Structure 1
């Protein structure tokens, strides 16, 4: 099994429903995916980031998209290593 797999389950026109499997974790699409640019997630309340179930199980944040090159530039790889 590859680390990344995408399956289209249903399609109508350009709209589609699918599943993304990434490192053994499967997510249904479409999915709400906050974007962390330069290590900052904008427009998301802190309570929601601290508790992914804050809005209920159906609205859980399951994935955050972050550009690792931006993280390498700032705040830098040493700080990222310390954070885990």
Structure 2
């Protein structure tokens, strides 16, 4: 399974979980209409807000990351670097 497939599957799982919990909140008789609406809003906004905040954090820290020692050729497959298929100082 590729990283792309894993991310896609994780996003689908989160969407399904959010949908199931949203339906459970909407059908609950324990909350008023306003409470239901606010809780459903939180269910859907928190994952998006978390992703945005972490994405912005990563963008602001991009220039401050320590050097890894890996070759910096633009044509390199980043998946190979992350999976450790070649040592940092080895040219290929």
**What range describes the TM-score normalised by the shorter chain of this pair?**
under 0.3
TM-score normalised by structure 1 residue count: 0.24
Q: Who wins on radius of gyration, i.e. which is larger? A: 2
In terms of fraction of residues, the more strand-rich structure is 1
